[in-house]
Amino acid sequence: MARAIWKGNISFGLVNIPVGLFSAEKPDELSFRQLDRRNLAPVGYRKYNKATGDEVEMDVIVKGYEYESGHYVVLSDEDLRRANPEKTQTVEITDFVDLDDIDTVFYDKPYYLAPMGKNPKGYALLREALKRTRKVGIAKVVIRSREHLAAVVPQGDVLVLEILRYPNEIRATEELEVPGEDLGALGVNERELEMAERLVEGMTAEWSPEKYHDSYRDDLMHLIHERIESGQTDAPDETPVPEAAESREGVIDIMSLLKRSVEATGGEKAAPRKAAAKPKAASTAPSAAKPKPRKATSAATSKPRPSSAKKRKAA
């Protein structure tokens, strides 16, 4: 069984639900060692005492806050919990909001919340209440000596704790040079827009994460195996890789590219666009919402706004 990173309670109102916090991520990256190119020996790093130069073992290393140059307050893990025992052991839900009200740039890191103890009733009640109301809980939680903003989101049978960024941690989009919404001034005509929409419709598919994988990893492993089979393992290939050719300004025929792309997807034969169908009435007990594609926000300090995109599908 997975090991809990943190154990505590979900708190909302006067209700406390014992839970454990588990990582939802499973990194699967290629591991590269750093080598000394002169003899291909692995490069290592050591922790050392900056006053004596002696190497330091992990069991004598402590945390310290430097309040003056060269002067520290030494803190233990118990001190970090003692600063506010309740906050370090609680996912404190303060509000419930619509899922689509949270701009996707706020999402940072997911964790799973699992019930602890012999009675999972409270966990199930909160999960089903969030499903039925299509809400998520906005909470504060302390993880590794920092208080995080978070969202408690139902996903299937599991409650997911999505760590959120604070508004001051997000750059305003005004810092970017992006085209405005006056398409005419940009030379975009209605036929090009319709063709672009047709291409989007032709490439539309059901969200199926299982069909996606890291194909670049496959390519890189192919290159590595080729080098092993050829016996050329001791020196990197320094031959420059040609840069991708850049099209000259004004030469691109967007309409022609769109038309060829649409034909490749079979979208050219698609029927003309129909008016959007009226939304069906929501059931009395909707399923959990799946994470939606993350949308942009106009500014870091802007108030989260409802998305015009489709709501998340039931998990």
Residue 291 located in a structural domain:
yes
Q: Does 4 have pLDDT greater than 70? A: yes
- The reported pLDDT for the residue numbered 283 is 37
- The reported pLDDT for the residue numbered 1 is 61
Domain limits at 99? Answer: 1-27+67-173+285-315
Residue 116 located in a structural domain:
yes
Give the separation between CA 126 and CA 178, rounded to whole angstroms: 42
Residue 187 located in a structural domain:
no
Q: How confident is the model over 89-101, as pLDDT tens digits? A: 899 999 999 999 9
Cβ atoms of 81 and 6 within 8 Å: the answer is: no
Residue 309 located in a structural domain:
yes
Q: How many domains does the chain have?
A: 1
Residue 122 located in a structural domain:
yes
Residue 212 located in a structural domain:
no
Contacts of range 48-57, beta carbons closer than 8 Å, 24 or more positions apart: none
Show the tokens assigned to 194. Answer: 């319709």
Residue 99 located in a structural domain:
yes
Q: How confident is the model over 117-161, as pLDDT tens digits? A: 888 999 999 999 999 999 999 999 998 888 999 999 999 999 999
Rg (CA), the chain: 27
Contacts of range 165-170, beta carbons closer than 8 Å, 24 or more positions apart: 165/105, 165/106, 165/107, 165/108, 167/300, 167/301, 168/300, 168/301, 169/300, 170/105, 170/106, 170/297, 170/300
Q: How confident is the model over 282-312, as pLDDT tens digits? A: 333 334 444 444 444 444 444 443 333 344 4
Average pLDDT of the segment spanning 229-251: 73
CATH number of the CATH domain containing 6: 2.40.290.10
Across 124-128, 192-196, 258-262, the highest mean pLDDT is recorded for: 124-128
Q: Does 280 have pLDDT greater than 60? A: no
Give residue 267's pLDDT band: very low, low, confident or very high (50, 70, 90).
Answer: low
Which one has a higher pLDDT value, 232 or 246?
232
- The reported pLDDT for the residue numbered 145 is 82
Q: Does 268 have pLDDT greater than 70? A: no
Considering the chain, what is the average pLDDT of its residues? 82
Q: Which residue has the tokens 């978070």?
A: 150
- The reported pLDDT for the residue numbered 3 is 86
Q: How far is CA 78 from the centre of its chain?
A: 31
Show the tokens assigned to 155. Answer: 């996903």
Q: Which of 11, 28, 10, 30 lies closest to 19 in space, CA to CA?
A: 10
